[in-house]
Amino acid sequence: GFKCGIVGLPNVGKSTLFNALTKAGIEASNFPFCTIEPNTGVVPVPDPRLEALAEIVKPERVLPTTMEFVDIAGLVAGASKGEGLGNKFLANIRETDAIGHVVRCFEDENIVHVANKVSPASDIEVINTELALADLDSCERAILRQQKRAKGGDKDAKFEVSVLEKMRPVLDEGHMLRSMDLSKEELAAVNYLNFLTLKPTMYIANVAEDGFENNPHLDAVREIAAKENAVVVAVCAAIESELAEMDPEDRDEFMADLGLEEPGLDRVIRAGYQLLDLHTYFTAGVKEVRAWTVPVGACAPQAAGVIHTDFERGFIRAQVMSYDDFIAYKGEAGAKEAGKLRVEGKTYVVKDGDVMHFLFNV
Ligand code: GDP
């Protein structure tokens, strides 16, 4: 699965947000293929297209696709030096595909701030400095290793060293590698190092109930994000936590009162999904209408493999309709009659919203 790690200083609202995410989460028993650990929440990716498909197909059940969020608490200043459990936290972040960095943008005298004042810019700097220092360490070690190989005449190693040498001063200044303009080749050469500051990142600005507009803290986060190719999602963790406790009718009423169209968590989840460069295809049978996740650019066999590895191995071909055609012609039979059902082979690049059916050998 695809994982987004939640990081941030203590007392910024990480647990509040994470608990709301996991409460809004789905029955783990519906997903026999994923193991779920205590600090991991598997959350459904909201997608109104599922309901539209289900209205036509009338299946026994409807299953959204999911994303994993991992709560990585305890990242504090000094983590990169291996103080306390610091290194373990950094290792946990390394295993994620993207980072959601929670930043406190609400004032509340009753809730202690670790630095005694709400200041997103300095909070972000504390965390980002640790990430940059950890990357600097990996970078310098890799330079030493690859320099030896480069001296031996290894061209790939020589290229890698040139990329790493470009990265070193950026990290040394405490800046994020994702703010650099790197070519595909350069990124590929260092991909194996799993740099933390290269991971796609969203800042989750935890604002007060009335803090979505005219909030200088939020503006400060936006300014930082713009400089380093990150995105910003503003939520109020306190509200999300209340929403997650409510049953659906109360929730709708509460949101209407607040003038919210959807829970803020939906925006966090969707932003995470986009951050990871993922999109969705559907299977639509009478037993089950279901959304599945593939990386943008994935071909049909890889998409089949998300359902089961055997489907990928034995892939023969796929029947494909677009979501729009499926809806317009009221299902597969109608789409087929209208000539909108295509047969696609191994090289077909899956599009967002494709409704697919796979034929395979076992
Ligand atoms: P963590 O240490 O980052 O996991 O932070 P917590 O989620 O434990 O939150 C720390 C404290 O801030 C708790 O007392 C929360 O109830 C409170 N808190 C979290 N989010 C909000 C918020 O949006 N508004 C206000 N006023 N308090 C919040």
Nearest to 68 by CA among 48, 89, 95: 95
Q: Which of 275, 306, 327 is the last residue of a domain?
A: 275
Distance 30 CA to ligand 1 centre (A): 31
User: What distance in Å separates the CA atoms of residue 36 and residue 42, rounded to the nearest whole number?
Assistant: 8
Whether 174 is in a domain gets the answer yes
Please work out, in degrees rounded to the nearest 5, the angle formed at the alpha carbon of residue 81 by the alpha carbons of 77 and 86: 65
In a shared domain, residues 245 and 270? yes
Q: Does pLDDT of 28 surpass 50?
A: no
In a shared domain, residues 29 and 95? yes
Nearest to 191 by CA among 224, 223, 164: 164
Q: At 197, which helix (H) or strand (E)?
A: none
Q: What pTM did the predictor assign? A: 0.85
148 is in an annotated binding site: no
Question: Of all residues in the chain, what percent carry a pLDDT higher than 90?
Answer: 64
List the residue whose alpha carbon is closest to atom 22 of ligand 1.
238
In a shared domain, residues 244 and 335? no
- Which of 6, 9, 11, 215 has most ligand 1 atoms within 8 Å of its beta carbon, as the pocket-test mutant? 11
CATH label of the domain that carries residue 301: 3.10.20.30
List the residue whose alpha carbon is closest to atom 14 of ligand 1.
111
126 is in an annotated binding site: no
Pair of tokens at residue 80: 């990169």
Range of the domain at 325: 297-360
Q: Is 237's C-beta closer than 6 angstroms to any atom of ligand 1?
A: yes
Residue 355: strand, helix, or coil: strand
Single-letter amino acid, residue 128: N
Atom of ligand 1 at shortest range from CA of 10: 2
* DSSP conformation class of 25: S
- Cβ pair 285, 327 in contact under 8 A: no
Q: Is 12's C-beta closer than 6 angstroms to any atom of ligand 1?
A: yes
158-185 pLDDT, tens digit per residue, is 999 999 999 999 999 999 999 999 999 9
**Where are the alpha helices (H) located in the chain, listed in sequence order?**
14-23, 49-57, 86-94, 120-151, 155-172, 184-190, 216-227, 237-245, 248-258, 264-275, 300-307, 309-313, 323-328, 332-337
40-60 pLDDT, tens digit per residue, is 888 889 899 999 999 999 999
Single-letter amino acid, residue 266: D
Domain count, the chain: 3
306-319 pLDDT, tens digit per residue, is 999 999 999 999 99
Q: What are phi and psi of 166, to 5 degrees?
A: -75, -30
Q: Is 13's C-beta closer than 6 angstroms to any atom of ligand 1?
A: yes
In a shared domain, residues 13 and 98? yes
